[in-house]
A and B are shown apart, each in its own frame.
Chain A
Amino acid sequence: MPKDSLLGNNFASAPLSLGRRSMNLLITFAAGAAVFLVLLPLGAIFAYLIYKGIGSINWAFLTQTPKPVGEAGGGMANAIAGTSLILLIASCMGVPIGIGGGIYLAEYGRGTRFGNLIRFTADVLNGVPSIVVGIVAYSLVVLTQSHFSALAGGVALAIMMIPTITRTTEEMLLLVPHTVREAAYGLGVARWRTTLSITLRTATSGVITGVMLAFARVAGETAPLLFTAFGNQYWNWNINQPTAALSLQVFTYAISPFDEWHKQAWAGALILIVLIVCSVSAVRLAASRGMLKGA
């Protein structure tokens, strides 16, 4: 202790006050409680989905179309097929444009004002409410064709996929070190060829992860399909006709007054969540293996 100390003897050697210690403990408990409270509904949702849904999933459910109101039985086969059709249409439009946009941002738009504008716009687009996207798709496709269609639903979902895929593709391409591109330039490979065969190829697993995440996100969307794909009681493979979708069917059944339909809603929801969790997990698994290979 220096002779001219202003703090006095007690400063350094005094024990930690009770107030400070209890505050520390209290906060730790509060944070832990927060984690518990957040995980609780998650657990509850999955538990209920399995508990209420598993009973209604049978072969009939997976292969039949809905029965008329009041009759027992029937299934959501057409809804599962419809969701696949709509997602296929959406992917055909959304994936190439999204990846192209990502390539532009990573390879040509670095640091430019225009590139920043695109990046910013994509981030903003990611926040547009899905119901608004539904209105736009309605306006563009349904009004033009004068009827609901799977195509309109696909367009709505594609609009939601494009900004997400653009940004994730860009981020993955930026992770490819510049030395890899240089090696290709040094060999006299043209720029377009380098971008496709070398840069994109090196980033493949990451880009696919981004695409699958966008895919999983729109697979569960209901709002944009409400007045684009609209729903259908029967099988439909025609992209120009209204089509059933799993998420739409779950919604319709859930708000109906019929117990039978409620049970089927849980079953449909279970299938939907299983599909989504599977695709996200498969992607993470492939990504972790793929990353190790490419390192």
Chain B
Amino acid sequence: MPGPQPVPSQELAVETRVYERPLGRTGSSQVADRIFYLAMLACALCVLALVGVIIYELASKSSLSWHAFGWRFFFRSEWDPVNDQFGALPFVYGTIVSSLLALIIAVPLAVGVGVFITEMSPPWLKTPLAFTTELLAAIPSVIYGLWAIFVLVPLLRLYVQPLLAKYLGWTGLFEGPPYGIGMLAAGIILAIMVVPIISSITREVMTAVPQQQREAVLALGATRWEMIRTGVLRNARAGIMGGIILGLGRALGETMAVTMVIGNRPEIAKSLFAPGYTMASVIANEFSEATGDTYLSALVEVGLALFLVTIIVNIVAQFLVWTVTRGTPRRGNA
């Protein structure tokens, strides 16, 4: 037998045995383990620290504006940098309207896509379809904006808006000159951007519904749609709601594409043809040129409000999704 001969008998002291064996060092690793643990802990604490830092910076840099205007900041419409008068109401209005419009368009589409992929699509089509809808999520905002400016806006201006004005103008929502640029364009591009998130979550929660539920309904003699309605959607309701709210969160914070097509005018108008302004857009447009401390502080205050609103919306959404997919690991946010 090749190699060193085994050492005979256990009367030999432990020390001698150590020299015979290949592992000479038998040092303790407790110090190294401790250091490693602390290093990993520090990294994890960075996550907490980041939230703290964000809140601190936003709060401290916006205090000037807060002290000047108080709560009324969000209910005033005056945005006058020259005279140091700031009111964020137009931006709040613009953010809410554009996001709601986006959801109205996106939700039926996204849930439809989710239902199709999970329940109706032939197996060979599932993966390519899922992949392409996720590809939509990978497109950067600025590219959506670019396409919106040069393709969507002319389309709206030349074809869609005149049609809408002609047939639905009586609602008051489709009045005024059809610039193309404006709230409608912003709502549409936001809808396209938000569809992948909602459809991805819809698919996830629908897949999480156990097969037994579907079979139970089918066994009673239901059509496929009836099975989907009672066996799947009913159970996944909370999760789909969560997905929609998550989409809302994304729409609220979306900056570039909206900035490029919304017109950037701090006005409140009923018509969807009119230009508007969102909280994220005003920061994007005016931050780097803001002169004067109050001006900058007002913009930061808008940012703080945006931060708080998106955080709350996201927390509600996460909770709703969690109630349905409890335990199933979530895929990363791509």
Interface centre among B135, B224, B252 (most CB of A within 10 A): B135
Q: When the two chains form their complex, are residues B280 and A118 in contact, meaning their CB atoms are under 8 A apart?
A: no
Which residues from A are CB-within-8-Å of B255?
129-131, 222-223
Q: How far is the CA of A251 from the CA of B257 in the complex (A)?
A: 9
Q: How far is the CA of A145 from the CA of B99 in the complex (A)?
A: 36
Instruction: Please provide the chain A residues from 108 to 125 with a CB less than 8 Å away from any CB of chain B in the complex.
Output: 108-109, 117-118, 120-125
Instruction: Please provide the chain B residues from 279 to 314 with a CB less than 8 Å away from any CB of chain A in the complex.
Output: 280, 283-284, 287-288, 299-300, 303, 306-307, 310-311, 313-314
Q: When the two chains form their complex, are residues A101 and B44 in contact, meaning their CB atoms are under 8 A apart?
A: yes
Does residue B143 face the partner (Cβ distance < 8 Å to A)? yes
**Contact bitstring B110-144, A, C-beta under 8 A = 1, else 0:** 11110111001000000001001101101111111
Q: How far is the CA of A219 from the CA of B143 in the complex (A)?
A: 12
Does residue B50 face the partner (Cβ distance < 8 Å to A)? yes
Q: When the two chains form their complex, are residues B332 and A210 in contact, meaning their CB atoms are under 8 A apart?
A: yes
> Binding site of B, secondary structure by majority: helix, strand, loop or mixed?
helix
Bin the interface of chain B by size: 35 or more
Q: When the two chains form their complex, are residues A20 and B223 in contact, meaning their CB atoms are under 8 A apart?
A: yes
Q: When the two chains form their complex, are residues B224 and A24 in contact, meaning their CB atoms are under 8 A apart?
A: yes
Find A162's partner among B46, B143, B147, B318 (CB 8 Å cutoff): B46
Nearest residue (CB) in B for A98 is B43
Q: When the two chains form their complex, are residues A139 and B44 in contact, meaning their CB atoms are under 8 A apart?
A: no
Q: When the two chains form their complex, are residues B252 and A221 in contact, meaning their CB atoms are under 8 A apart?
A: no
Nearest residue (CB) in A for B108 is A34
Nearest chain A CB to B103 CB, angstrom units = 15
Q: When the two chains form their complex, are residues A220 and B332 in contact, meaning their CB atoms are under 8 A apart?
A: no
Q: When the two chains form their complex, are residues A272 and B143 in contact, meaning their CB atoms are under 8 A apart?
A: yes
Find A34's partner among B112, B132, B249 (CB 8 Å cutoff): B112
Find A127's partner among B53, B142, B195, B249 (CB 8 Å cutoff): B249
Which residues from B are CB-within-8-Å of A272?
140, 143
Q: When the two chains form their complex, are residues A220 and B141 in contact, meaning their CB atoms are under 8 A apart?
A: yes
Instruction: Please provide the chain A residues from 124 to 180 with a CB less than 8 Å away from any CB of chain B in the complex.
Output: 124-136, 138-140, 159, 162-164, 166-168, 171, 174
Nearest chain A CB to B156 CB, angstrom units = 13
Stretch at the interface among B29-37, B74-82, B162-170, B207-215: B29-37
Does residue B171 face the partner (Cβ distance < 8 Å to A)? no
Q: When the two chains form their complex, are residues B149 and A254 in contact, meaning their CB atoms are under 8 A apart?
A: yes
> Binding site of A, secondary structure by majority: helix, strand, loop or mixed?
helix
Q: When the two chains form their complex, are residues B303 and A135 in contact, meaning their CB atoms are under 8 A apart?
A: yes
Q: How far is the CA of A221 from the CA of B116 in the complex (A)?
A: 31
Does residue A276 face the partner (Cβ distance < 8 Å to B)? yes
Q: When the two chains form their complex, are residues B333 and A126 in contact, meaning their CB atoms are under 8 A apart?
A: yes
Q: When the two chains form their complex, are residues B223 and A220 in contact, meaning their CB atoms are under 8 A apart?
A: no
Q: When the two chains form their complex, are residues B36 and A192 in contact, meaning their CB atoms are under 8 A apart?
A: yes
Does residue A105 face the partner (Cβ distance < 8 Å to B)? yes
Nearest chain A CB to B195 CB, angstrom units = 6
Does residue B65 face the partner (Cβ distance < 8 Å to A)? no
Does residue A80 face the partner (Cβ distance < 8 Å to B)? no
Q: When the two chains form their complex, are residues A131 and B283 in contact, meaning their CB atoms are under 8 A apart?
A: yes
Does residue B51 face the partner (Cβ distance < 8 Å to A)? yes
Does residue B145 face the partner (Cβ distance < 8 Å to A)? yes
Q: When the two chains form their complex, are residues A124 and B315 in contact, meaning their CB atoms are under 8 A apart?
A: yes
Stretch at the interface among B1-9, B10-18, B54-62, B269-277: B54-62
Which residues from A are CB-within-8-Å of B47?
101, 118, 121-122, 125, 162-163, 166
How many residues on chain A are close to B (CB under 8 Å)? 99
Q: When the two chains form their complex, are residues B113 and A273 in contact, meaning their CB atoms are under 8 A apart?
A: no
Q: How far is the CA of A273 from the CA of B143 in the complex (A)?
A: 8
Does residue A69 face the partner (Cβ distance < 8 Å to B)? no
Find B138's partner among A27, A101, A280 (CB 8 Å cutoff): A280
Q: How far is the CA of A37 from the CA of B199 in the complex (A)?
A: 13
Q: When the two chains form their complex, are residues A109 and B44 in contact, meaning their CB atoms are under 8 A apart?
A: yes
Instruction: Please provide the chain A residues from 16 to 61 with a CB less than 8 Å away from any CB of chain B in the complex.
Output: 16, 20-21, 23-24, 27-28, 30-35, 37-39, 41-42, 44-45, 48-49, 52
Does residue B329 face the partner (Cβ distance < 8 Å to A)? yes
Find B44's partner among A38, A41, A105 (CB 8 Å cutoff): A105
Does residue B219 face the partner (Cβ distance < 8 Å to A)? no
Q: How far is the CA of A187 from the CA of B66 in the complex (A)?
A: 61
Q: How far is the CA of A288 from the CA of B192 in the complex (A)?
A: 29
Which residues from A are CB-within-8-Å of B146?
250, 254, 265-266, 269
Q: When the two chains form their complex, are residues A117 and B225 in contact, meaning their CB atoms are under 8 A apart?
A: no
Nearest chain B CB to A252 CB, angstrom units = 10
Q: How far is the CA of A16 from the CA of B223 in the complex (A)?
A: 9
Nearest chain A CB to B27 CB, angstrom units = 10
Does residue A292 face the partner (Cβ distance < 8 Å to B)? no
Q: When the two chains form their complex, are residues B147 and A223 in contact, meaning their CB atoms are under 8 A apart?
A: no
Q: What 5 A-B pairs come out closest when comparing CB atoms?
A: A220-B140, A129-B253, A100-B43, A34-B112, A190-B29
A–B pairs, 16, beta carbons within 8 Å: A31-B112, A32-B120, A35-B113, A42-B132, A99-B43, A121-B48, A124-B318, A127-B250, A132-B306, A174-B329, A193-B29, A213-B334, A222-B140, A222-B256, A223-B284, A250-B143
Interface contacts beyond A34-B109, A276-B139: sample of 5 additional A-B pairs, CB < 8 Å, sorted by A: A49-B147, A100-B42, A125-B50, A193-B29, A193-B32
Q: What is the interface of chain A, defined by CB distance below 8 A to chain B?
A: 16, 20-21, 23-24, 27-28, 30-35, 37-39, 41-42, 44-45, 48-49, 52, 96-101, 103-105, 107-109, 117-118, 120-136, 138-140, 159, 162-164, 166-168, 171, 174, 190-193, 195-196, 210, 213-214, 216-217, 219-223, 226-227, 230, 247, 250-251, 254-255, 262, 265-266, 269, 272-273, 276-277, 280
Q: What is the interface of chain B, defined by CB distance below 8 A to chain A?
A: 29, 32-33, 35-37, 39-44, 46-48, 50-51, 53-54, 57-58, 61, 108-113, 115-117, 120, 129, 132-133, 135-136, 138-147, 149-151, 192, 195, 199, 223-226, 228, 246, 249-250, 252-256, 260, 280, 283-284, 287-288, 299-300, 303, 306-307, 310-311, 313-315, 318, 329-330, 332-334
